[in-house]
């Protein structure tokens, strides 16, 4: 899934080239890294990217290893349940008996071997019990920025990994609740990585989102008649129900299983996450690009090529410089960047910066 706006990474991230099309962490765009991480587990021709029309060319630029037919653009965003349904249809057209994984385009994972191994086990679990399988990340801190998965008892063991039933999904908690989750040992972070068979997810869509499924079946009929996919989606996709797959299905279904991710994971949700991915100096300053500090501490600087950012006597700032915009923000106000971007969108002269 590669259609997010990445507003929290403005001004580097823009609507046509958001976070997953940028090398926020590493030397390659996040989507490129995600695709390359899957090679060896899956044939490259089996990797499909769901994006949107604004980002279609950008995705093609960073994913030249994929056939054009494997990069499909939503004409409008209808949230993740619709994206899951579209992906299901695309896979079903190739093989109705297939299993599939739905993965975010922009997570940071360095241990590719463990990542592929965990996904391989997840495929086995999904196929052995007709279940909806999710990969959970072992919490390392009482994070309030992630959803949580509460584990039930172990249902089976596959590849020497415990496969747990899921009691319930929890929305992003406050700090005290997150501390209780961490202390209990019953919770994983929800990394938004799902594995299921076409048949199983199709049945779940029919049961829990019948209105959405009716629209998907109309699209499927057009596909079976050989209609042009772009035109078909342009006509029908905007009318699909808008709802997230977590709320629509995962929080309601009873055949949900989870297993622990044995790989490192970071969803890099906003600029402060840079601190976890880059080394700091003795005063806690972190930079991607050229920066110099005098009497400074705990700052984050991101700058483009051939541009130096110099800071004097400041602390706890985010400074991001691009060719046409500069952001200066206190780290504890990083979540306000999204609001700033929306404010800019209300000014006609500044829409070029979105």
pLDDT tens, residue by residue, 188-239: 999 999 999 999 999 999 999 999 999 999 999 999 999 999 999 999 999 9
d(CA 295, CA 4): 37
Among 44, 26, 193, 202, CA closest to 105: 193
Mean pLDDT score, 274-300 = 96
Listed in order, the ranges of the chain carrying CATH 3.90.550.10 are 7-260
H or E element, residue 102: strand 99-102
7-260: what fold? Spore Coat Polysaccharide Biosynthesis Protein SpsA; Chain A (3.90.550)
Q: pLDDT exceeding 70 applies to what percent of the chain?
A: 100
Mean pLDDT score, 26-30 = 93
Between 52-56, 153-157, 239-243, 265-269, the lowest mean confidence (pLDDT) is in 265-269
pLDDT tens per residue, range 42-67: 999 999 999 999 999 999 999 999 99
Task: Identify the three-state secondary structure at position 46.
Answer: helix
pLDDT tens per residue, range 288-337: 999 999 999 999 999 987 899 999 999 999 999 999 999 999 999 998 99
CA dihedral 229→233→236→239, nearest 10 degrees, is 160
Return contacts of 121-124, CB within 8 angstroms, 24+ apart: 121/158, 121/159, 121/161, 121/163, 121/259, 122/193, 122/195, 122/259, 123/99, 123/195, 124/158, 124/159
Supply the pTM of this predicted model.
Answer: 0.93
Task: Categorize the per-residue pLDDT at 26 as very low, low, confident or very high, splitting at 50, 70 and 90.
Answer: confident
Q: pLDDT exceeding 90 applies to what percent of the chain?
A: 94
How many other CB atoms are there within 10 angstroms of residue 277's CB atom?
A: 15
Task: Categorize the per-residue pLDDT at 163 as very low, low, confident or very high, splitting at 50, 70 and 90.
Answer: very high
**Do residues 287 and 301 lie in contact, with contact meaning Cβ atoms separated by under 8 Å?**
yes
Checking if the pLDDT of 137 tops 90, the result is yes
Q: Please enumerate in sequence order all residues whose Cβ is within 8 A of that of 121, keeping only pairs 6 or more positions apart, or say none.
A: 158, 159, 161, 163, 259
What is the per-residue pLDDT for 41?
95
What is the per-residue pLDDT for 306?
87
CA distances from 55 to 26, 62, 284 (A): 21, 11, 35
Task: Categorize the per-residue pLDDT at 247 as very low, low, confident or very high, splitting at 50, 70 and 90.
Answer: very high
Mean pLDDT of the chain: 95
Checking if the pLDDT of 38 tops 90, the result is yes
Mean pLDDT score, 62-78 = 96
């Amino acid at each position: 899934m590669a259609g997010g706006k990445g507003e929290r990474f403005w001004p580097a991230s823009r609507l046509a080239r958001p976070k997953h099309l940028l090398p926020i962490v590493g030397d390659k765009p996040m989507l490129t890294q995600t695709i390359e991480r899957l090679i060896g587990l899956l044939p490259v021709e089996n990797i499909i990217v769901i994006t949107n029309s604004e980002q279609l060319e950008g995705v093609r630029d960073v994913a030249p290893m994929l056939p054009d037919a494997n990069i499909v653009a939503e004409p409008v965003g209808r949230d993740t349940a619709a994206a899951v349904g579209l992906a299901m249809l695309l896979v079903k057209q190739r093989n109705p008996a297939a299993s599939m994984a739905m993965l975010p385009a922009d997570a940071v994972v360095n241990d590719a071997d463990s990542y592929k191994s965990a996904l391989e086990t997840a495929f086995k679990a999904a196929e052995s019990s007709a279940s909806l399988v999710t990969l959970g990340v072992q919490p390392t801190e009482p994070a309030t920025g992630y959803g949580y998965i509460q584990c039930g008892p172990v249902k089976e063991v596959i590849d020497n990994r415990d496969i747990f039933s899921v009691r319930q999904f929890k929305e992003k908690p406050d700090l005290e609740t997150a501390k209780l989750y961490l202390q209990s040992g019953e919770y994983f972070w929800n990394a938004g990585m799902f594995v299921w068979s076409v048949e199983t997810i199709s049945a779940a869509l029919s049961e829990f989102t019948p209105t959405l499924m009716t629209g998907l079946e109309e699209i499927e009929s057009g596909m079976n008649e050989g209609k042009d996919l772009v035109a078909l989606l342009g006509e029908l996709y905007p009318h699909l129900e808008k709802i997230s797959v977590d709320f629509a299905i995962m929080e309601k279904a009873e055949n949900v299983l989870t297993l622990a991710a044995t790989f490192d994971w970071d969803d890099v949700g906003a600029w402060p996450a840079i601190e976890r991915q880059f080394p700091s100096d003795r005063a806690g300053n972190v930079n991607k690009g050229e920066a110099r500090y005098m009497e400074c501490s705990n700052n984050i600087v991101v700058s483009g090529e051939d541009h130096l950012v110099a800071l004097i006597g400041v602390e706890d700032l985010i400074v991001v410089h691009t060719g046409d915009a500069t952001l200066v923000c206190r780290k504890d106000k990083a979540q306000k960047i999204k609001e700033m971007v929306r404010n800019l969108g209300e000014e006609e002269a500044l829409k070029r910066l979105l």
